[in-house]
């Protein structure tokens, strides 16, 4: 209610501003700062995940400015709210680039939001750092993918479950929300499992709508499928909001991780913070980072992050780490290029290395994906993960999977071939 | 072989005196030492062998050790390679000697676990506590052995079976015996056939799972009897499956009822298109969260009762906000029902953002009290406690509301005002006050829904949004202004949804249901239970 | 001339058309001919934004036609808008041809990587512009006709109708989310290249699309005005104010309602079709019931039953949204938006334009001692 007067005033101002807008008001530009766009939803359905990422970038910028900024200039964040509305993402991206003249943008969570802003970034030639695990099948000159590609999350997770430590799983439920990421991931996994000799009848695929809240039928179907006399596991690409009721149902039905383990690709510390995890102990998640990873870099990051938020309980998660890496890489690339110029930074980025928070050093590859370790964690009673397995080396992100007909011949190389979808068979770009 | 003998000795010792009189002679502390040394290495493979060694050692506190390991209470002093364990009460003991350590060394870390270790630990505990004096523990042990199907446990099982007196425990032990024998490829055929018969009589999902694990190269008579046992159990389970689906339908229906019944008052009775209804539900859920948080920090012993405490509070909070909304906004909009849609939509945006600002955008954790966790089984029907309580809660709210409308003076006034406002007013009813209280009642009940939904769904600022469309559909389907309609509407939508889901899948099922409702409204344009008479055209 | 006849008693309309057509000419010129350095230059961002507002204005106008003049509160108008958008999106997808990432000559990218082998039948024909443009109108029109025919014949009215329109758009939302449907699932249709042979991102194309949107809005206004001002329009208002009486007098209420509902859906479809190439994406979230409710709110804010007001409301609310979602206000804009709706309904029950008209009339009658004619009847908002 406190906004009443403002709104009325705003309405009046609207009419006036309309004219000004038509003239395309050039915004005053401060000389000694460089702007960074933050394109994460702060309202609507995705706010639940994306708000943290906005805070992460604000935190990173503050830290960088404490160190004196980049190339002697202070960084300044421009925060916009695309409100979980996909066309609005494109509109806000355009606003960030043309009106605020940002040097780079960190943003997006869902694939559709990335797809929505892609044409804008291409047209206006700017840089987007995309921090979330996704289905792959894309490599663009203007986008740097710091989240996991399917080969950096899904396939190692399945490998782990097939191993002795993972329980030698023979029967698979691929459960996901009905959208592109689970569909593609499950297609890839299905092809992979069949190639590994799993019989077709030992794979069950199930899709549910967004925000599905009544899991009774599906959980009992999973239990039924699990009574096939072979060790069964669930690979879950269930998205955000639907996870809480799913896990609650699992817990209440008494589906223990020692009977039917569930490995999830979208459940991290942030999601578990909204859940009572005592019945979920032992269920798994595959990520490239866990808050519980023990090493000095991570501990320092957590300490500073919690101090920045003035909340000693604030958790960290994998997409945040992706932003940390992406931001560090951008800073290094700018320093290497000696300029904020978009083309120079894009050319400088491949090959840049930055320490990740799990103790290794991630590298930006010519296909604009990065190298990451893959970690498997088991849920603990306190809402954190125990790392039970991890890859020995960092896994390079593969933009085009080898397990789908359409993309096995494609290769992305922005350094040598200057092409995101080079067809190795025809020897042509696209 | 040594392991078997020690186990047998252990059994006799336990059978004679239980844990209280340990027979040191039977135990093998050197196995224990070796096991603990392995565990001190803290690698999964070594821990697995360590568990084996501890179980083999037969020391009296072996079960306590493995339990501690399973609950992350087994601690390693990495510097000195020594192992300790903490009892649930908090005292720390040295693992080898089982002596209390007054001041445990600093920097103890818990032994790491994975599912494999956890599985082995529970199997070991099972085998170790088959002779436990507590019958409940024996049942758990039998179930653990049934899961692990560890052939080495067979001897203990035989002994336990021979000693067992309680019939219910005996049944569990027999099942465990059957599971182990059936899976043991070198067991005599007649024993294995006997096991199949026992498993067939168990008629459970788990039995099917065990029977299915028979390798394809097993002896022909065994294969045949197994196949027939599987199909007989499957048939029975399929029958139970229908009952189960009906229960799911009832359960989903009750969730819909609970979400919609407040709306049946604010929208159905008062005619306010209350788009902020979902946010009232959300406020109820957040009230529950706050109450729980308070319990957690100030009075942990109250935790199990926090939901009970949250019920009246959620009603008051949501009801109070409802009264404020009615007095502040909706009061000005009577006679313009469609405009209430806009105002309440605006209010819902404000409430959502207010909650997001106050509590953050992420999900908040609302725990499930002990009495609502888990499930019970009746025959082949699995009923989770939280769903059962929600069904009961929904029923209570419904009955309570019916009684309140029928027998209280507020109910009388409410009915009078909604039927004929001017007449009621001239009879001396303060219609303004009744309006406010009615809206408050509807909102308060939405708050109660929030308490229930916090048990099965996200507690996030978006909670209300996900129920608002369904709630409106339920009220409209049942017939606006009729509580019974809302009840029948909720149950039939829930039931139809759950009966469709196994065949059409969750997404398509929901679409088909929506189309069915649209078509149904064509047939009965005023819902299932239409109001008759002049009110219709009002 | 028909236009003149239509606008004779419509002062607001004259202004409205003048502004819209003025925009159609001036904005593209300012965008194309004025150098970017000039303060009068209209940037691409602003052009895209304004184009989007105009599409929303047309959508609001179409809703106002059924809600303001016929009392049909559709909470599912976004569905028609989105269907029009999808028809256009499918055309644009087919225009990509081999320029997709997999360079498949026929299948769009999302079908290739989900292993579709051939084009589903309902994608046939969309490579032809004329067919696609026909579908832009035919699909929403047909759906509205069928839906309206059954609903109005069964005399589904009031909130019941509102709720089932909402159920309709919700069902479509779920259906289009399904990847099996063949519309790209949640990612929708995006990465468009050409429209009618012109690159969609070229400034000239953008300017042309903007001008087309303005023109469509003007034509939409004229069409709505023609309906409202005719005898048919009078019957519609009768139906709005007293449906049963109108029926008893002998009018076939359901025919009138179905007609106006269909026309409105076609307008919404056209708005959607113009919207898609300008924002560059169409995805199932356009079917979200919340979006449709927002359209209702634009109309209410601008002024229900005023046509021009509906368009004004759409532009104002969206402008407010654009402004509030940037910078330090970003976390709080929902407060402002929510408060705006509450305030409008309480203090401006006839919307901004309604209030303005009232003030204007009062001002005029105070200046002219004896009004020459009765004030134009202000639409009754009672149900």
Domain boundary assignment for chain C: 2-367
Per-residue pLDDT of chain C (383 residues; tens, 9 = 90+): 566 667 777 788 889 999 999 999 999 999 998 888 888 888 888 899 999 999 999 999 999 999 999 999 999 999 999 999 999 999 999 999 888 888 888 888 888 877 888 899 999 999 999 999 999 999 999 999 999 999 999 988 888 899 899 999 999 999 998 888 889 888 899 889 999 989 998 999 999 999 999 999 999 999 999 999 999 999 999 999 999 999 999 999 999 999 999 999 999 999 999 999 999 999 999 999 989 999 998 998 898 899 999 999 999 999 988 888 776 777 788 888 889 888 888 888 888 888 888 888 888 888 765 545 544 554 444 44
Burial class from Cβ neighbours inside 10 Å (0-12, 13-18, 19+) for residue B12 reads middle
C339–A406 CB contact, under 8 Å: no
Question: Is position A78 within any domain?
Answer: yes
Would an 8 Å CB–CB cutoff place C371 in contact with chain B?
Answer: no
Say if residue A22's pLDDT is above 50. Answer: no
Q: B352 in contact with C at a CB cutoff of 8 Å?
A: yes
Residue A211, domain member (yes or no): yes
Cβ of B343 and C342 within 8 Å?
Answer: yes
For residue A104, the enclosing domain spans: 30-148+294-373
Nearest CA to A209 out of B495, B506, C185 is that of B506
In the 8-state DSSP scheme, what is residue B362? S
Q: A97-141: per-residue pLDDT in tens?
A: 998 999 999 999 988 899 999 999 999 999 999 999 998 989 999
Of A243, A264, A285, the residue that ends a domain is A264
Domain positions in chain B: 2-208, 241-537
The residue count of chain B comes to 538
DSSP B28: -
Contacts of A261 in chain B (CB under 8 A): 115
Judging contacts by C-beta atoms under 8 Å, the chain A residues touching residue C316 are 11, 14
Identify which of A45, A253, A388 has the shortest CB distance to residue B462: A45
Q: Is the CB of residue B382 less than 8 Å away from at least one CB of chain A?
A: yes
Residue pair A169/A162 in contact by the 8 Å Cβ criterion:
yes
Compare CB distances from B116 to A48, A165, A284 and report the shortest one's residue: A165
Q: What is the pLDDT of residues A324-345, one digit of tens each?
A: 999 999 999 999 999 999 999 9
Question: What's the CA gap between A385 and A292, in Å, rounded?
Answer: 6
Inter-chain contact C327–A80, Cβ cutoff 8 Å?
yes
**H or E stretch covering B421:** helix B421-426
Instruction: Indicate if A34 and A126 belong to the same structural domain.
Output: yes
- Asked if B521 and C168 come within 8 Å (Cβ–Cβ), the reply is no
Residue of B nearest to C158 (CA): B338
C-alpha to C-alpha distance for C83 and C200, rounded to whole angstroms: 20
pLDDT digits (tens, 9 = 90+) for B39-62: 988 889 999 999 989 988 888 888
What residue has token string 């209440």? A252
Listed in sequence order, the residues at least 6 apart from B231 whose beta carbon sits closer than 8 Å to its beta carbon are: none
A297: closest CA of chain B, how far (Å): 21
The verdict on a CB contact (< 8 Å) between C178 and A178 is yes
CATH number reported for the structural domain that contains residue A352 in this entry: 3.40.50.2300
DSSP, collapsed to helix, strand or coil, labels residue C209 as helix
pLDDT at B176: 92
ipTM for the predicted complex comes to 0.88
Q: Which residues of A are less than 8 Å from B510 in CB distance? A: 209
Q: Are B433 and A216 in contact (CB under 8 A)?
A: no
**Contacts A404 to C, Cβ<8 Å:** 113, 115
Instruction: Assess if residue A422 is contained within a domain.
Output: no
Q: Which residues of C touch B357 (CB under 8 A)?
A: 331-332
For residue C341, the chain B residue with the least C-alpha distance is B346
Chains that touch B (3 or more CB pairs under 8 A): A, C
Same domain, A36 and A105: yes
Spans in chain B with pLDDT lower than 70 = 1-27, 531-538
| Contact check, Cβ <8 Å, A273/B363 | yes
Q: Which of C115, C184, C185 sits opposite A404 (nearest CB)?
A: C115
Interface test with B, best of C78, C149, C167, C381 (most B CBs within 10 A): C167
Distances (CA, A) of C335 to B281, B323, B346, B356: 19, 20, 8, 11
Residue of A58, A109, A183, A403 for testing the chain C interface, max C β-carbons within 10 Å: A183
**Whether residues A186 and A144 fall in one domain:** no
Identify the three-state secondary structure at position B490. helix
CB pairs under 8 A between A and B: 161
In angstroms, the CA A217 to CA B503 distance is: 11
A191 pLDDT higher than 60: yes
Task: State how far the Cα of B397 lies from the Cα of C25, in Å rounded to an integer.
Answer: 62
Q: List the structure tokens of A398.
A: 């593969």
- C-alpha triplet B267, B273, B275: angle, nearest 5°: 110
Is C327's CB within 8 Å of A24's CB?
A: no
A190 part of a folded domain: yes
Separation in Å, CA of C153 to nearest CA in chain A: 33
Whether A348 and A320 map to the same domain: the answer is yes
B475: tokens are 């009220």
d(CA B531, CA B482): 8
A17, A118, A187: residue with CB nearest C115: A187
Q: How confident is the model at residue A53 (pLDDT cuts 50, 70, 90)?
A: very high
3 state SS for chain A: CCCHHHHHHHHHHHHHHHHHHHCCCCCCCCCCEEEEEEECCCCCCCHHHHHHHHHHHHHHHHHHHHCCCECCEEEEEEEECCCCCHHHHHHHHHHHHHHCCCCEEEECCCHHHHHHHHHHHHHHCCCEEECCCCCCCCCCCCEEECCCCHHHCHHHHHHHHHCCCCCCCCEEEEEEECCHHHHHHHHHHHHHHHHCCCCHHHEEEEEECCCCCCCHHHHHHHHHHHCCCCCEEEEEECCHHHHHHHHHHHHHCCCCCCCCCEEECCCCHHHHCCCCHHHCCCCEEEECCCCCCCCHHHHHHHHHHHHHHCCCCCCCCHHHHHHHHHHHHHHHHHHHHCCCCHHHHHHHCCCCEEECCCCCEEEECCCCEEEECCEEEEECCCCCEEEEEECCCCEECCCCCCCCCCCCCEEEECCCCCEEEEECCCCEEC
Query: Measured between beta carbons, which residues in chain A are less than 8 angstroms from residue B212?
Result: 227-230
Residue that is written with structure tokens 């223990």 in the block: A256
Q: What is the pLDDT of residue A6?
A: 44
Q: What is the largest CA-CA distance in chain C?
A: 77
Alpha carbon distances (Å) from B132 to B5, B20, B59, B172: 18, 11, 14, 14
Distance CA A100, CA A103 (A): 9
Residues of C in contact with A94 (CB under 8 A): 44-45, 48
- Judged by a CB distance cut-off of 8 A, whether residue A45 touches chain C is no
Task: Note the Cα A152 to chain centre separation in Å.
Answer: 12
**Is A271 within the bounds of a domain?**
no
From the list C41, C328, C339, which residue is nearest A4 (CB)?
Answer: C339
C174–chain B Cβ distance below 8 A for any pair: yes
DSSP assignment string, C230-275: SHHHHHHHHHHH-HHHHHHHT--HHHHHHHHHHHHHHHHHHHHHHH
Sequence-ordered alpha helix ranges (H) in B41-114? 44-57, 62-70
Optimal mutation site among A1, A7, A48, interface B, most CBs of chain B within 10 A:
A48
By Cβ distance, the residue of C112, C281, C336 closest to A6 is C336
Q: What is the pLDDT of residue C2?
A: 64
Based on the domain organization, do A260 and A213 belong to the same domain? yes
The answer to whether the Cβ–Cβ distance between B213 and A229 falls below 8 Å is yes
Is some CB atom of chain B closer than 8 A to the CB atom of A269? no
Mean per-residue pLDDT over chain A, rounded:
88
Residue B437 tokens, joined: 């209280």
- Find the residue in C nearest to A402 (Cα): C113
Q: Which residues of A touch C340 (CB under 8 A)?
A: 7, 11
Which chain A positions have a beta carbon within 8 Å of B249's beta carbon? none
Residue A399 lies in a domain: no
Q: Pick from B417, B482, A24, A199: which is nearest to C47 by CA?
A: A24
Chain A residues with CB under 8 Å of C104 CB are 406
- Last-in-domain residue among A225, A243, A264: A264
Chains with 3 or more CB pairs under 8 A to chain A: B, C
Supply the CATH classification number for the domain C2-367: 1.10.3470
Same domain, A65 and A139: yes
Question: Residue A29 above 60 pLDDT?
Answer: no
Inter-chain touch B507–C178, beta carbons under 8 Å: yes
Whole-angstrom Cα distance, residue A263 to residue A233?
A: 8
Read off the tokens for A5: 């007067």
Place of tokens 């398509």: B508
Residues A132 and A234 grouped into a single domain: no
Please list, in sequence order, all residues whose beta carbon lies within 8 angstroms of the beta carbon of residue B204, skipping any fewer than 6 positions away. B233, B380
Q: How far apart are CA B1 and CA B193, in angstroms?
A: 26
Beta-carbon separation of A274 and B458 below 8 A: yes
Nearest residue to A112 via CA among C45, C86, C185, C172: C185
């Amino acid at each position: 209610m406190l906004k009443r007067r403002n709104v009325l005033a705003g309405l009046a101002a609207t009419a006036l501003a309309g004219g000004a807008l038509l003239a395309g008001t050039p915004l005053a530009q401060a000389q000694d700062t460089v702007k960074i766009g933050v394109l994460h939803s702060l309202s609507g359905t995705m706010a639940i995940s994306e708000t943290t990422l906005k805070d992460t970038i604000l935190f990173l910028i503050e830290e960088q400015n404490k160190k004196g900024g980049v190339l002697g200039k202070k960084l300044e964040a421009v925060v916009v709210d695309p409100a979980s509305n996909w066309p609005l993402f494109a509109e806000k991206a355009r606003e960030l680039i043309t009106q605020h003249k940002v040097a780079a943008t960190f943003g997006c969570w869902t694939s559709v939001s990335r797809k929505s802003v892609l044409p804008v970034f291409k047209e206006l030639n700017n840089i987007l750092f995309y921090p979330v695990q996704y289905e792959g099948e894309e490599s663009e000159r203007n986008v740097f993918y710091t989240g996991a590609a399917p080969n950096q999350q899904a396939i190692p997770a399945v490998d782990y479950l097939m191993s002795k430590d993972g329980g030698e799983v023979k029967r698979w439920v691929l459960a996901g929300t009905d959208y592109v990421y689970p569909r593609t991931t499950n297609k890839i996994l299905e092809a992979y499992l069949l190639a590994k000799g799993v019989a077709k009848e030992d794979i069950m695929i199930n899709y549910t709508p967004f925000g599905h809240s009544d899991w009774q039928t599906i959980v009992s179907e999973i239990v039924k499928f699990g009574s096939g006399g072979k060790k069964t596991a669930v690979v879950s690409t269930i998205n955000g909001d639907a996870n809480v009721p799913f896990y609650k149902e699992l817990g209440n039905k008494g589906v223990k991780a020692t009977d039917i383990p569930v490995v999830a690709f979208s459940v991290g510390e942030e999601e578990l913070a909204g859940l009572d995890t005592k019945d979920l102990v032992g269920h798994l998640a595959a990520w490239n980072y866990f808050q519980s990873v023990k090493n000095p870099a991570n501990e320092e990051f957590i300490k500073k992050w919690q101090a920045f938020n003035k909340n000693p309980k604030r958790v960290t998660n994998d997409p945040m780490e992706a932003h940390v890496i992406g931001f560090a890489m951008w800073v290094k690339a700018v320093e290497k290029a000696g300029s904020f110029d978009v083309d120079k930074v894009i050319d400088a980025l491949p090959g840049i290395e930055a320490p990740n928070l799990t103790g290794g050093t991630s590298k930006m590859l010519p296909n604009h994906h990065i190298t990451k370790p893959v970690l498997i964690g088991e849920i603990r009673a306190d809402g954190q993960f125990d790392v039970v397995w991890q890859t020995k080396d960092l896994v390079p992100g593969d933009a085009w999977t080898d397990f789908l007909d359409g993309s096995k011949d494609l290769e992305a190389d922005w350094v040598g071939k200057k092409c995101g979808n080079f067809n190795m068979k025809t020897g042509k770009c696209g | 072989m040594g392991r078997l003998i020690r186990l047998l000795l252990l059994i006799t010792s336990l059978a004679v005196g239980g844990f209280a009189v340990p027979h040191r002679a039977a135990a093998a502390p050197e196995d224990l030492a070796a096991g603990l040394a392995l565990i001190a290495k803290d690698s999964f493979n070594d821990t697995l062998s360590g568990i084996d060694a501890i179980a083999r050692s037969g020391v009296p506190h072996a079960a306590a050790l493995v339990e501690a390991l399973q609950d992350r209470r087994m601690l390693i002093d990495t510097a000195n390679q020594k192992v300790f364990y903490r009892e649930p009460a908090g005292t720390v003991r040295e693992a080898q000697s089982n002596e209390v350590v007054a001041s445990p060394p600093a920097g103890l870390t818990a032994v790491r676990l994975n599912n494999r270790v956890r599985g082995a630990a529970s199997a070991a505990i099972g085998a170790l506590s088959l002779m436990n004096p507590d019958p409940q523990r024996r049942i758990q042990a039998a179930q653990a052995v049934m899961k692990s199907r560890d052939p080495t446990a067979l001897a203990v099982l035989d002994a336990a079976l021979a000693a067992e007196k309680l019939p219910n425990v005996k049944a569990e032990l027999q099942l465990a015996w059957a599971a182990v024998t059936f899976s043991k490829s070198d067991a005599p055929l007649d024993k294995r056939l006997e096991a199949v018969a026992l498993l067939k009589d168990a008629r459970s999902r788990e039995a099917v799972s065990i029977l299915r694990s028979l390798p394809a190269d097993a002896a022909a008579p065994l294969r045949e009897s197994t196949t027939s046992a599987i199909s007989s159990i499957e048939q029975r389970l399929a029958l139970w499956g229908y009952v189960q689906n009906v229960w799911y339908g009832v359960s989903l229906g009750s969730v819909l009822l609970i979400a919609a019944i407040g709306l049946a008052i604010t929208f159905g009775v008062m005619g306010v298109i209350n788009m902020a209804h979902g946010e009232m539900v959300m406020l109820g859920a957040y009230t529950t969260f706050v109450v729980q948080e308070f319990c957690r920090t100030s009075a942990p012993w109250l935790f199990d009762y926090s939901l009970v405490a949250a019920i009246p509070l959620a009603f008051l909070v949501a009801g109070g906000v409802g009264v404020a909304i009615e007095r502040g906004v909706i009061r000005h909009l009577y006679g313009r029902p469609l405009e209430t849609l806009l105002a309440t939509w605006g209010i819902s945006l404000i409430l959502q953002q207010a909650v997001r600002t106050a509590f953050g955008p992420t999900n908040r954790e609302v725990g499930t009290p002990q009495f609502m966790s888990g499930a019970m089984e009746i025959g082949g029907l699995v009923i989770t406690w939280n769903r059962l309580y929600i069904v009961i809660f929904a029923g209570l709210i419904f009955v309570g509301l019916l009684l309140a409308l029928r027998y209280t003076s507020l109910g009388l006034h409410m009915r009078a005002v909604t039927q004929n406002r001017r007449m009621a007013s001239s009879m001396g009813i303060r219609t303004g006050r009744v309006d406010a209280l009615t809206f408050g009642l509807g909102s308060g009940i939405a708050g109660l829904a929030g308490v229930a939904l916090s048990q099965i769904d996200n507690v996030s600022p978006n909670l209300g949004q996900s129920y608002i469309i369904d709630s409106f559909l339920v009220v409209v389907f049942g017939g606006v202004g009729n509580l019974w309609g809302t009840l029948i509407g909720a149950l039939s939508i829930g039931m139809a949804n759950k009966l469709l889901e196994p065949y059409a899948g969750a997404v398509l099922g929901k679409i088909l249901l929506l189309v069915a409702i649209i078509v149904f409204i064509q047939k009965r344009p005023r819902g299932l239970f239409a109001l008759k008479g002049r009110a219709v055209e009002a | 001339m028909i236009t003149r006849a239509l606008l004779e008693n419509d002062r607001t309309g004259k202004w409205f058309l003048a502004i819209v057509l003025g925009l159609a000419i001036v904005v593209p010129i300012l965008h194309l001919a004025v150098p970017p350095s000039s303060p009068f230059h209209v940037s691409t961002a602003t052009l895209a934004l304004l184009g989007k507002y105009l599409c929303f204005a047309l959508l609001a106008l179409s809703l106002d036609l059924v809600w303001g003049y016929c009392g049909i509160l559709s909470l599912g108008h976004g569905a028609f808008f989105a269907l029009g958008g999808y028809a256009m999106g499918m055309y644009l997808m087919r225009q990509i041809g081999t320029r997709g990432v997999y360079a498949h000559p026929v299948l769009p990218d999302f079908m290739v990587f989900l292993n579709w082998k051939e084009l589903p039948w309902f994608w046939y024909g969309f490579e032809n512009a004329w067919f696609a443009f026909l579908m832009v109108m035919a699909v929403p029109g047909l759906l509205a006709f069928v839906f309206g025919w059954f609903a109005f014949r069964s005399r589904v009215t009031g909130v019941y109708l509102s709720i089932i329109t909402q159920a309709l758009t919700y069902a479509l939302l779920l259906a289009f989310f399904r990847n099996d449907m063949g519309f790209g699932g949640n990612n929708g249709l995006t990465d468009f290249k050409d429209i009618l042979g012109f690159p969609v991102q070229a400034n000239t194309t953008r300017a042309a699309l903007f001008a087309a949107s303005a023109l469509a809005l003007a034509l939409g206004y004229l069409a709505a005005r023609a309906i409202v001002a005719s005898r048919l329009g009078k019957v519609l208002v009768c139906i709005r104010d007293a449906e049963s009486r109108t029926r008893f007098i002998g009018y076939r209420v359901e025919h009138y309602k179905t007609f106006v509902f269909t026309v409105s859906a076609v307008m919404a479809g056209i708005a959607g079709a113009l919207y898609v190439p300008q924002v560059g994406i169409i995805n199932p979230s356009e079917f979200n019931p919340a979006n449709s409710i927002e359209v209702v709110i634009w109309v209410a804010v601008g002024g229900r039953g005023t046509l021009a007001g509906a368009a004004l409301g759409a532009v104002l609310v969206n402008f407010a949204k654009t402004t509030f979602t940037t910078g330090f206000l970003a976390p709080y804009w929902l407060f402002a938006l929510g408060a705006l709706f509450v305030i409008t309904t309480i203090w401006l029950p006839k919307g901004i334009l309604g209030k303005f008209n009232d003030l204007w009339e009062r001002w005029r009658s105070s200046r002219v001692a004896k009004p020459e004619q009765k004030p134009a009847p202000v639409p009754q908002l009672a149900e």
